[in-house]
Structure formats: structure tokens, C-alpha cells
Amino acid sequence: MVSTAGTQSGEQGWSSRSAFILAAVGAAVGLGNIWRFPTLAGESGGGAFVLVYIGFVVLLGLPLVLSEIMLGRAGGEDAIGSVENVARESGVSTRWKGLGALQITSGFLILSFYSVVAGWVINYVYLAGGDFLGAVMSGDVFAGAFAGETQDQITGRMGDLFADPTRLIILHAIFMAATIWIVASGVHDGIEKAATWLMPAFFVLLVIITIYGALTGNFGEAVAFLFTPDFSKLSPVVLNEALGQALFSLSLAAGGLLTYGAYVSKDVNLAPTAGMIAMADTTVAILAGLMIFPIVFAVGLDPAGGPALIFQTLPVAFNEMPAGALVGFVFFILIFFAALTSSISLLEGPTAWVIDKTGWARKKAAIVVGLVAFAIGVTCALGYNVWSEVRPLGFWNIFAETDILDTLDGFTGKIMLPLGALLVALFVGWRADANMVKAQTGLSDGMFLVWRFLVAWAAPIAVSLVLLFGLVPGLLG
């Protein structure tokens, strides 16, 4: 018998509410929290960025998380099909499904560069693992990582990696292959299983390393940096950055939550679930900041160090801490896991759509989508060496200095995700059948009014203003 393997027909969905929460938290918590958040907070001057970021999470992110999961569950298909179904049932134009298409495209593009960055993580798993093995062999299990190296040598390893296209591409290939393999194994046997094992382990280690950083690093300076807002640093561009980061980190507007929502059973109460996802994600981002910046200041690195920042600070910490080789090894493995539980949600969106559209087996769809994303990612890897002069959107002054990976990251984060979020807000707030929406969310009358106000008014106005002032001056001048 030929399996149709459609999102509805071929999948059992999540086995329980907690399985869904872990999968969704797994999708949310990833490189966005540990790599992108500290990078952007560092570049944008710290406190003011963090404050605006948290504001966006609470006022826009949380209501939109609920909106997207709700839409997915109500529609019960891939991201495009779900929106189409809800539009049809609400008696409005099915062209709204375009918002699903935009989201899937965003997720697909994010996947392509995400996998490259995750490859950097694998590089450090390998380096720290080798160190740990050496430590065990020499009988000193508690050795620090990168023993005998100077700080410059340790931080310089990132430059060595960037200069080596073959290595970057192989690591990217390994990560993409792992992502494809899990998605090909199915929602229940792949995605859910991966999340239920990996996420709890990740949380425990994160807390331990943050405590270590607090005790040994320059915690006071880090706290001051992250939580003392200097409003002179706030510009429309920083607001745009913070909005994009809030959306990125919560996995909004990239097809992931819409798609995962379709696998949630009807008896799950969505509102508290959305709250838990947003809470967990934000906590991890703040913890990651509190883990990284004490080390940044203790060893005198530049907080505005850009995408290489965490790959330079964490190895320095692991060099100095007792049993650093072991902790470093385990920690990079966990970042790898966190990245993996996110990348599978990025791949699942477009894959579910391809399955529904073509009737292909899940495996074939996952492989084809993953390979195309891999090919785009290769250009990002080459952007650090052979194509280091390439500036894909160099004519646009906000992207004038940005290499291929950063352009893809910036374009999706600053433009595509806000647009995707805007469309969700307009659709859910104004077009989708209000009674259906209310029943799906399970909110009480009062909470529903608050939520609806945020989705229908606050989100569209805020996102439009941010887009207008963040992007238009850049276009004009």
C-alpha cells in the first residue's frame, strides 16, 4: 500500500501534552538563545536591547505564539494548508494562505544558515572532545580544555575555522544530515523522541555553567551591561533587531509553530502551553547572557565581537575552569542538541508542506528539502573565505557590510519574520472566525479581550512602525 504520509493522514501527532511542550520548547530554545541573543545584545549595547527584547516577547511574542499554535491546530495541516482551511471556514479569502508560504520560506532560509552555525558547534564538540580524551589518557580527568594554549590561541581558533571552507562544509553537512534523519523518522519517533531526551539534559548543564560563570567571572559587570539600559543606544535599527530576535527565538513566523500546532490534540489547553514556551525560551536567553558576558568581561573580549563571540568566550572559560575539558565537551554537545531540536522544526515546516503537496514519502521529502537548504548553506560557509568579499545586499546600507551568512540572517530576521508575524496578527485578529478562535485558545472572556487587543492592534501597529522606521531610512539613505 502506498502511504500518503500527509501531515494528518501519515502522522500520529504528539503522544501527550508534555511531549508537545518539550518539542515546542526544543524548537524555541536553540542557537537563537545561546548564539544570536548574546551576539545582538553585545553589538547593540546591552541593557536597552534586552529591555526592548523582553517587551517584544511579552507583548507580541507570547500572544503570537498562541495565535500560531492555535491556527495550526485549527487547520490541522501543513503551514499553508492550515491557514487556507481556517480562512475557508471563516468565510474569507483563501489567499491568506500566502502567509503560510512566506513563513515556510523563512524557515527554509533560516535552516540553511542555521546549520552552518551549528557546524561551528560541532567543531568545538570535536576540539573539546579531543582535549577530554587527552586528559583521560594522561590520567588527569579534571584538566582544563585547550591546556597550554594562550587566550589568543584559543580565541584564534575561530578564525582558523572560518578560513577552512572544506571543514566548514563538512561540519554543515553532518548537522544537516542529523536534522534530515530525525525529521525523516517522523513526528513521534523522531522529533518527539529527540526533544524528550535532549531538552532536560540541556537545562541542567546550562544552570551549572551559569553558576560557574557567576562565581568565577566578572558577574557584576555582566549584570550591569545586560540590565542597565542606556537609552541613547536605542535606534530604530536596534528596535528592528530586537523584534526580529524575539520572533526568531520564539520560532515565530517561520512555519515551525504552525506546523507543530497541527500535531496537538484537541484537548490540550493552548494558552498555558504558549506561556510555558515563551517563559522557557526567555529564561534560557537571559541565562545564556549571564553565562557568556561575565567571561567576556573577565578576559577582556569585546562584547560587540559579532557572530564569533560565544565560540571565543566559552572555550576560554573551559580552559580556566576545573574539569574544563569535560564540561566543555559536554556543554558543546548540549548546544548541539539544542540546535538540533530547533533545526528539526525548521525542516519540518517545509517538509510537511512538500508531503501534503506531492504525496511523497516523508523520507524523500525531508531529504530533498534538506539538500536544497544544504546547498544554500554552502554559500554561507564560502562567504567566510573564498567569497569573503561578497556582499549580497551591499547596495542597501543596512546590509552594506554584511557577508553572505549575516545577510541571510539579517534579511530573514529583520524583514521576513516581522512581515510573517504581521500577517498572522492581521489574520487572527481581524479575519479568522472569532468564535472559533476563542474556543481554540481556551481563554476566559477577559483574557480573550486582552489577547485579542494585543494581536489585532498592538502587534500590527508595533511591527509596522518598527519595519517602517527600521528599514525605510536604510532604503532612502
For binding to ligand PHE (CB under 6 A), which residues are involved? 27-28, 30-33, 107, 110, 248-249, 251, 254, 256, 342, 345-346
Spatial separation of the C-alpha atoms in residues 332 and 330, rounded to whole Å: 6
Q: How far is the CB of 33 from ligand PHE (least distance, A)?
A: 5
Least distance (Å) from ligand PHE to the CB of residue 365? 18
State the minimum distance, in angstroms, from the CB of residue 29 to ligand PHE: 6
**Residue in the shown chain whose Cβ atom is closest to ligand PHE:** 32
197: buried, middle or exposed (CB in 10 Å: 19+, 13-18, 0-12)?
Answer: middle
Q: Measured from the CB atom, is 109 or 295 closer to ligand PHE?
A: 109
Place of cell 532604503: 475
355 CB-side CA count, 13 A: 29
Closest approach, Cβ 337 to ligand PHE, in A, equals 12
Question: How distant is the alpha carbon of residue 120 from its chain centre?
Answer: 16
**Beta carbon nearer to ligand PHE, 143 or 182:** 182
Give whichever of 74 and 109 is closer to ligand PHE, judged by the CB atom: 109
Least distance in Å: CB of 348 to ligand PHE?
9
**What are the two backbone dihedrals, phi and then psi, of residue 459, each rounded to the nearest 5 degrees?**
-65, -50
- Residue whose CB is less far from ligand PHE, 79 or 326: 79
Q: Between 296 and 347, whose beta carbon lies closer to ligand PHE?
A: 347
The residue among 19 and 104 lying less far from ligand PHE, judged by its C-beta, is 104
Of 107 and 410, which has the nearer Cβ to ligand PHE? Answer: 107
Cβ-based nearer residue to ligand PHE, 30 or 190: 30
Cα–Cα nearest to 180, from 238, 130, 115: 115
Quote the least distance from Cβ 335 to ligand PHE, whole Å: 10
The CA–CA distances, whole Å, from 54 to 37, 278, 319, 408 equal 12, 10, 32, 24
Least separation in angstroms between residue 130's CB and ligand PHE is: 26
Q: How far is the CB of 37 from ligand PHE (least distance, A)?
A: 8
CB of 416 to ligand PHE, least distance (A): 11
148 to 128, 131, 187, 296, 397: CA distances (angstroms) = 14, 11, 45, 20, 43
| DSSP code string of 177-225 | HHHHHHHHH-IIIIIIHHHHHHHHHHHHHHHHHHHHHHHHS-HHHHHHH
First to last CA, the chain: 60
Q: From CA 393, how far away is CA 280, in angstroms rounded?
A: 35
Residue (of 191, 115, 149) closest to 371 by Cα position:
115
Indicate the SS3 state at residue 323. coil
* CB closer to ligand PHE, 113 vs 451: 113
d(CA 204, CA 41): 24
